Structure 1
Amino acid sequence: MMGVSPITVRSWVNRGWLPATTTPGGHRRFIRQDVLALAGQQRSHRPAGGRPLRLLVVDDDPQFRGYMLELLGELLPDAEIEAAADGFEAGVKVVEFLPDIVLLDQSMPGLDGASVCRRIRGVPQLAAIRVIGITGHLDRRVERDMLAAGAECVLHKPLDVAALRQALGAKNVAARAGQVLTAG
């Protein structure tokens, strides 16, 4: 109804912004009027730019993808966060969801992260999307491929949360181009 991920809704409930009841099975239920009231507040509290920060997590590992959704929901509770399981789904979601930042795994079946990044960079209307590469490989060639494709930096798995915060908070993307962030 509001076009946000379940993580975002959970964050709203935890912050007390959206009243909810819980069923015996642990599912949350909402009153339609409460949701509509929150939707009106969200529109009125958005920055002059229009909408909240949008992030897209792209990773073929469902456990890592779930971890990232939870982590980003905690780090950026006001953000809208979506996920894609592979490069093809990422292409569809980038066009439909129009994220501000894509957190993109390099090693995926079908289209790898560098291929997805090149396709994003190849569309002028998507040029402002920030791409942060993620890899579980310690191979410098993988990093170079992601950076050459247009990623602003590459983070390593297991993910260093401080490095993720630093990458997400980067103000000057041009100054960071070519930087590789590794777990300490």
Structure 2
Amino acid sequence: MSRKSDSVRIFSALEVAKLCGVVNQTSINWIRNGYLRAFTTPGGQYRVSLEDLLEFLQNRGIKIPAELQQGITSETDWQSIMVIDDDSEINKLITRFLKKNLPNYNFFQAFDGFEAGAIITDKHPGFIILDIDLPGVDGHKLCNTIKSNPAFGKPFVIAITGMEDNDTQQRILHEGADAFFSKPLDMDRLKDTVKDFIAKLEAEYEH
């Protein structure tokens, strides 16, 4: 993640509290309990860097306030595709199939929500195939976080699920997914959908 700023933005505990919509003591407790990194001024006051505040918000799943979004850009890797599915066989099948048809792309795999979050934060893949039925994770909320958090860029998200019903489809599309597939997957249609997104991206860059 890169930040287009020549100066480091620093916040007091009170400013953090106001940005997050909590009382001052709550932000101080975050710092004292080690949840939010901070340093102390010679006068004994806590100070928090923008980078540490953003990391805290992302890890906690807290929406980044509009005041902090300005100047934040994600170096999205449009040459990478990520597959998130706890079923290792399906994960490997999708990855192998797409690798064969898109040999010039880099691939990342994640088998749970925690691993997925770490890779997305570090690698910023441009295309994500997300199983919304991950154990212990609200797949709809995860999709919304990926699509709405500016630190993740604006990746294309293809949601997949073993539940085939219109309500599930409408809900995940409402959360920001760009496409929806039910299992068993139509691999050729999945491949074509990824290629369509690639073509759309290339067209945008040409204009």
How would you bin the TM-score normalised by the shorter chain? Answer: 0.5 to 0.7
What is aligned with 1:20? none
Q: Take 1:127 and 1:150, find their aligned partners in 2: how far apart are those partners?
A: 13
What is aligned with 2:161? 135
Q: Take 1:74 and 1:119, find their aligned partners in 2: how far apart are those partners?
A: 30
TM-score by length of 1: 0.62
Verify: 1:153 aligned to 2:183, yes or no.
no
Verify: 1:122 aligned to 2:148, yes or no.
yes
Gaps in structure 2 of 5+ consecutive residues: 1-74, 202-207
Whether contact under 8 Å (1:155, 1:163) holds in the other structure is: no
Whether contact under 8 Å (1:133, 1:155) holds in the other structure is: yes
Deviation at 1:50, TM superposition (A): 10
Whether contact under 8 Å (1:53, 1:78) holds in the other structure is: yes
SS of aligned partner of 1:77: coil
Deviation at 1:88, TM superposition (A): 1.9
Q: Take 2:77 and 2:145, find their aligned partners in 1: how far apart are those partners?
A: 24
Deviation at 1:81, TM superposition (A): 0.3
| CA root-mean-square deviation | 2.1
**Structure whose CA Rg is larger:** 2
Report matched runs for 1:66-81 at 5 Å: 66-81=92-107
Q: Take 1:145 and 1:50, find their aligned partners in 2: how far apart are those partners?
A: 26
1:47-102 Cα shifts (integer Å, max 9, x gaps) = xx996610110001011011111111111111100111112211111111110100
Aligned residue-pair number: 125
What is aligned with 2:81? 55
Q: Are the structure 2 counterparts of residues 156 and 55 from structure 1 closer, same or farther at C-alpha, using a change threshold of 3 Å? A: same
Gaps in structure 1 of 5+ consecutive residues: 1-48, 174-184
Whether contact under 8 Å (2:79, 2:105) holds in the other structure is: yes
Q: Take 1:52 and 1:153, find their aligned partners in 2: how far apart are those partners?
A: 17
Q: After alignment, is 119-128 or 61-70 more displaced?
A: 119-128
Letter in 2 for 1:112: D
Verify: 1:100 aligned to 2:126, yes or no.
yes
1:104-132 Cα shifts (integer Å, max 9, x gaps) = 00111111321211111231132421101
Whether contact under 8 Å (2:76, 2:152) holds in the other structure is: no
Q: After alignment, is 156-165 or 98-107 more displaced?
A: 156-165
Deviation at 1:165, TM superposition (A): 2.1
Letter in 1 for 2:124: L
Q: Are the structure 2 counterparts of residues 50 and 141 from structure 1 closer, same or farther at C-alpha, using a change threshold of 3 Å? A: closer
